[in-house]
Amino acid sequence: MREITIEERIKAELASYNGLMGIYVNDFNGNTVEINIDEKYETASCVKTFILGTLFDEVEKGNKSLSDMLTYSKENEIDGSGVLRSLDYGVTLTAKNVATLMIIVSDNIATNMMIDYLGLDTINAFMKNQGFKDTVLHNKIDFNKYNQLGTTSPRDYGKIFEMICKEELISPEASRQMLEIFKKQHYNSTITKNFPQYFLDSEDTGEDELIFVASKSGSMNACRNDGGIVSTPYGKYVIVLFNKNFTDPIYYPDHPATVFSSKVSRLIFDQYLALKGRIK
């Protein structure tokens, strides 16, 4: 009897999906899933992952410090996700705290502060130098001026999390610090949506934390994206799920892109556990 491949199982899950999903998975045991991974996608807030990498690169080079103080001013005010827009102008935070807000609550004001602090050209140079050939930050976040934020591919987004996982992005210490920030990320509506909550909830169950996810998602009218590292007792894997060309621009928890991405994520999760650290 012919074996049904993981790619065929994914294709079956997506048979009635009306968008274009890019999927990249790496189990670090020589097995990958690669579907539409060189397609260009709007980054939305996923570009904040690359901005965080730039910060740690500039710190490593001695050009910046995580303890530098940054001030929230009116010029960086913007709607959307985050908490700084609820605070008064003049709030001052360390560069590390601004970057942490940029990731864990996807703070748009913190992102604009970080872009000003690092410089657009520096961020794009970092991505080019690290080999993220499909990734560009086009501008600061301004919904009145611009209809896009960045461009990337599932291949590039998978690569940055692979480098963090292997402690090869900037330095081992920088990679470890970035991993800890991504583990605190609040928006886990896609990768873990269909995971058994028991594995993720050590506080309520009293058991050891068996599973953690270090990730960063992003959504705009044109895209619904998520990607990061899933850690299990059998090891870690990287998963990226990018979506475009769907017909429904409205934001809600059961958006088709989220529903179908979550199905694929659970399929990969179950396969990885069943094969004890492999997806094939």
Domain definitions of the chain by residue range: 1-37+153-280, 40-152
Judge whether residue 205 has pLDDT over 60.
Answer: no
Question: Residue 154 has which token pair?
Answer: 């599932």
Residue 153: which of 137, 172, 173, 133 has the closest Cα? 133
Looking at the chain, the whole-number percentage of residues with pLDDT higher than 70 is 97
Q: How confident is the model at residue 81 (pLDDT cuts 50, 70, 90)?
A: confident
3-state secondary structure of 81: coil
In this prediction the pTM is 0.94
1-37+153-280 and 40-152: identical CATH topology = yes
Find out whether 229 and 183 touch, Cβ atoms under 8 Å: no
CATH of domain 40-152: 3.40.710.10
Looking at the chain, the whole-number percentage of residues with pLDDT higher than 90 is 79
Residue 75 has what pLDDT? 84
CATH architecture of 1-37+153-280: 3-Layer(aba) Sandwich (3.40)
